[in-house]
Structure 1
Amino acid sequence: MSTTVVLVHGAFADASSYAALIPELLDAGIPVVAPAVPNRSLVGDAAYVASVVRSIKGPVLLVGHSYGGAVITVAGAEENVKGLVYLAGYALDEGESLGQLQGGFPDSDLAAALVYTPFPNPGGEDGTDVSVDVEKFPHIFAADVDPALSRILAVSQRPLAGAAFAEPAPVAAWKTKPAWGIVSSSDHTINPDVERFGYNRAGVKAIEIDSSHLVMLSHPREVADLIKEALASIDA
Structure 2
Amino acid sequence: MTTPTVVLVHGAFADATGWIGVISELRSRGIPVIAPPNPLRGLASDAAYLASVVSQIDGPAVLVGHSYGGALITMVGEAENVVGLVYVAACVLHEGESLGQLLGRFPDSPVKSNLKERTYPLLDGDFVVEVTIDEAAFPAVFAADVTKDVARVLAATQRPLATAAFTETASTAAWRTKPSWALVAGADRTINPEVQRFGAERAGAVVVEIPDASHAVALSEPTQVADLIRDAVRATS
The TM-score range, normalised by the shorter chain, is: over 0.9
Alignment RMSD (CA, Å): 0.7
CA distance in 1, matches of 2:27, 2:150: 22
1:87 aligned partner: 88
CA distance in 1, matches of 2:80, 2:217: 28
Q: CA deviation at 1:20?
A: 1.3
2:161 aligned partner: 160
2:111 aligned partner: 110
Q: CA deviation at 1:124?
A: 5.2
1:186-225 map, 5 Å: 186-209=187-210, 210-225=212-227
CA distance in 1, matches of 2:161, 2:77: 20
Q: How many residues align?
A: 235
1:144 aligned partner: 145
Q: CA deviation at 1:2?
A: 2.1
Q: Secondary structure at the match of 2:86?
A: strand
CA distance in 1, matches of 2:81, 2:124: 36
Matched, 1:176 2:177: yes
Moved over 3 A (4+): none
1:75 aligned partner: 76
CA distance in 2, matches of 1:32, 1:231: 11
Q: Which amino acid aligns with 2:164?
A: A
Q: CA deviation at 1:27?
A: 0.8
Structure 2 unaligned regions, length at least 5: none
| More off after superposition, 123-132 vs 4-13 | 123-132
Q: Secondary structure at the match of 1:37?
A: coil
CA distance in 1, matches of 2:219, 2:101: 28
Structure 1 residue aligned with 2:231, among 217, 224, 229?
A: 229
Structure 1 unaligned regions, length at least 5: none
Q: Which amino acid aligns with 1:213?
A: H
TM score, norm. by length of structure 1: 0.98
Contact (CA 8 Å) 2:3, 2:233: kept in 1 or not?
A: no
Q: CA deviation at 1:125?
A: 2.1
CA distance in 2, matches of 1:218, 1:136: 18
CA distance in 2, matches of 1:181, 1:121: 36
TM score, norm. by length of structure 2: 0.98
Q: Secondary structure at the match of 2:155?
A: helix
Q: Secondary structure at the match of 1:109?
A: coil
- Please list the CA deviations of residues 7-59 of structure 1 after superposition, one character each: whole Å capped at 9, or x if unmatched: 00000000011011110011111101100010001011011111100110000
